[in-house]
Amino acid sequence: MYGHTQPYKKPIMLSFSIRKELFWDIDFNKLDQTLNKRLIIERVLSYGNLSELKTIYQFYGKDVITEEIKKAGYLDPKTIAFVTGYFGIKREELKCCIKKQSDSPFWNCFNP
């Protein structure tokens, strides 16, 4: 009647232990360790402790963490410094560090 709907898929619960407080803005019980891996990695790198970092490193591995962190939309300066040093990622590879600028800024449209 209203189009095709996807069947509900139960999230794959986290098979590792990290603090719920890292996910203050979402329902922790709905986190899916596969579908939400970038969010999980971002939050642990930004707000987690050493134990949580070791946990996600053992679960996801360096390659997955590196690829997902490159796609992050925002990382604070402390986390950027950490991931560039620890994972050997260049700042130019981080989506959050790439800023595209318009060829003609808004204020130039008034000066023909």
What's the pLDDT score for residue 2?
Answer: 47
Q: Are the C-beta atoms of residues 31 and 11 closer than 8 Å to each other?
A: yes
What's the pLDDT score for residue 62?
Answer: 95
Q: Are the C-beta atoms of residues 44 and 53 closer than 8 Å to each other?
A: yes
Mind listing the pLDDT tens digit for each residue in 9-47?
Answer: 555 556 678 889 999 998 888 888 889 999 999 999 999
User: DSSP character for 100?
Assistant: -
Instruction: Give the pLDDT mean for 95-112.
Output: 59
What's the pLDDT score for residue 86?
Answer: 93
What's the pLDDT score for residue 49?
Answer: 94
Mind listing the pLDDT tens digit for each residue in 61-102?
Answer: 999 999 999 999 899 999 999 999 999 999 999 999 886 444
Closest CA to 53 of 43, 68, 39, 67: 43
What's the pLDDT score for residue 1?
Answer: 45
What's the pLDDT score for residue 11?
Answer: 54
What's the pLDDT score for residue 10?
Answer: 57
Cα–Cα dist 112/110, whole Å = 6
Instruction: Give the pLDDT mean for 51-62.
Output: 93
Give domain limits for the chain: 30-110
Q: What is the 3-state secondary structure (H, E, C) of 20-82?
A: HHHHCCCCHHHCCCCCCHHHHHHHHHHHCCHHHHHHHHHHHHHHHHHHHHHCCCCCCHHHHHH
